[in-house]
Amino acid sequence: MSYDEAGQLVGYNIDYLEELRRYADWTYEYVDFAGWAEAYEALENGEIDLLPAVYYTQERTDRMLFSAEPMCSIYTTLNVRLDDRRYAYEDFTAFSGMSVGVIENSQDARAFAQYANDNGFDVDMVEYLETDDLLNALDEGALDAIAITYLGSNSRFRTIAQFS
C-alpha cells in the first residue's frame, strides 16, 4: 500500500480490501505504520485485526488465522537495476559473489537463501528493515540485487530470477 499524490491509499491491497468491504459489509480503519515489520508486530500483538499479503506458513497458523483462499499468487524475484547488464536470467555463475539486499527475517529472505543454496551460488546477503531502504540501496548502487516479492511490470528494476 502506498499513497498517491492526493494522499489517498492506493495499490492492490487497498483494491482487494475495498472489494471485500462490498461483500462483507465491513468497516475499516486504516492504520499507518513505518514499515512491514512494525505492521506485522502489531498484528501479532492484537493491535490490528487484519494485515493483507501475509505469507502463509505453518508456524504462523499457531498465532493467526488465514483465509481459505489466498488473495493472490505471488512469488519472490531477484532484481537488478535496469542499466546493470552484468547479469542474465538465472546465470548462477554470475550470481556468485553478488551483494543481495533482503528484508530482515522475511519469507522472501528465507526463500532466496534456499534458492541460492539449491542452485549452488553464494552471495553476501544484506538485511534491511524497510522496503523503501532496500529499494533505495539498489537504486544508489549499494547493492548488486534485491530479493523481494514480485514488484510488478511497472518496476524500475529488471528481474533476473523468480522462485518460491
Give the CATH number for residue 109.
3.40.190.10
The answer as to whether 99 is a domain residue is yes
Q: Are residues 139 and 97 both part of a single domain?
A: yes
Q: Looking at 9-105, which runs of residues are DSSP E strands?
A: 9-10, 76-81, 99-103
Q: Are residues 84 and 53 both part of a single domain?
A: no
pLDDT per residue as tens digits for the range 113-130: 999 999 999 999 999 988
Q: Is the pLDDT of residue 33 over 70?
A: yes
The answer as to whether 133 is a domain residue is yes
Q: Are residues 85 and 155 both part of a single domain?
A: yes
Q: Are residues 98 and 34 both part of a single domain?
A: no
Q: Which domain holds residue 7?
A: 2-62
The answer as to whether 68 is a domain residue is no
Q: Are residues 55 and 83 both part of a single domain?
A: no
Q: Are residues 80 and 159 both part of a single domain?
A: yes
Per the prediction, the chain carries an average pLDDT of 91
- The average pLDDT across 88-93 equals 98
User: How many separate domains does the chain show?
Assistant: 2
Q: Is the pLDDT of residue 152 over 80?
A: no
Residue with cell 522472501: 108
Residue 154's pLDDT band, with cuts at 50, 70 and 90, is low
Q: How far apart are CA 147 and CA 153, in angstroms?
A: 16
The answer as to whether 131 is a domain residue is yes
And the C-alpha cell for 98? Answer: 553478488
Q: Are residues 134 and 92 both part of a single domain?
A: yes
Q: Are residues 141 and 81 both part of a single domain?
A: yes
Q: Please, are residues 112 and 36 in contact by the beta-carbon 8 Å criterion?
A: no
Mean pLDDT comparison of 21-35, 36-50, 116-130, 144-158, highest-scoring range: 116-130
What residue type is assigned to position 72 of the chain? C
Residue 74's pLDDT band, with cuts at 50, 70 and 90, is confident
The DSSP call for residue 90 is: T
The answer as to whether 19 is a domain residue is yes
CA distances from 164 to 51, 59, 101, 116 (A): 21, 17, 17, 12
Model pTM score:
0.69
